[in-house]
Structure 1
Amino acid sequence: MAKKSVIQRNLKRIQICDRYRSRRQELKGIISNKSIPVHQRFIAQLKLSKMPRDSSAVRIRNRCLLSGRGRGVYMEFGLSRIALRKLCPFGYIPGMLKSSW
């Protein structure tokens, strides 16, 4: 199990990222648009750099919903491979069975 502070930090980053998502997309659109004058694109670049670091989606870690584990997480389930393996035999995940032959 990951430390609670690490899990909370990641949740805070998700909230900040959601709050700033539309504004970041606007600024990135201005920066990448070559028809806008260089001066305005530079100003947009400065505004983007002044935004909080945690507002970037790159800083969010995909973590397991049960254990908080940061590695080996299946995105479609939101669970780590270990949690998935524990839940499969009991039928908690629809359509998934532990194989036996």
Structure 2
Amino acid sequence: MAKKSKIVKEMKRQKLVAEYADRRRALKAEGDYMALQKLPRDSSPTRQKNRCAVSGRPRGYLSKFQVSRIIFRELALKGQIPGITKSSW
């Protein structure tokens, strides 16, 4: 489980990105890079980090399912992810 502070910080970043998205798009279209630099750093979408929706783990993230590899395996073995079965040959 990730630290609560890291999870909260990432959620704050997501809100900032959504809040400044239109303003950022307009400034880029105008080519006004000086005004773009004055926006908060965390409002840039490239500063976001993918995190597991269940545990908050930043590594081993599977974007299709939005969970980490560990949680994915647990859910798949319990049969809670439709269409996923353990392979055997």
Distance 1:98 1:79 in 2: 17
Point out 4+ residue stretches in structure 1 off by more than 2 angstroms.
none
- State the distance in 2 between where 1:98 and 1:25 align: 44
Match of 1:39 in 2: none
Structure 1 Cα separation of the partners of residues 88 and 3 of structure 2? 35
- Please list every run of 5 or more consecutive structure 2 residues that lacks an aligned counterpart in the other structure: none
Give 1:98 deviation, angstroms.
Answer: 1.6
Larger radius of gyration: 1
Over the matched positions of the two proteins, sequence identity in percent amounts to 48
Q: Normalising by structure 2, what TM-score?
A: 0.95
For 2:51 and 2:40, locate their aligned partners in 1 and report how far apart those are by CA, in whole Å.
Answer: 22
Matched positions, count: 89
Output the TM-score relative to the length of structure 1.
0.84
In structure 1, give the amino acid aligned to 2:78.
Answer: F
The residue type paired with residue 76 of structure 1 is K
For 2:61, the aligned partner's letter is V
Once residues 100 and 86 of structure 1 are traced to their aligned partners in structure 2, the CA distance between those partners, rounded to angstroms, is 17
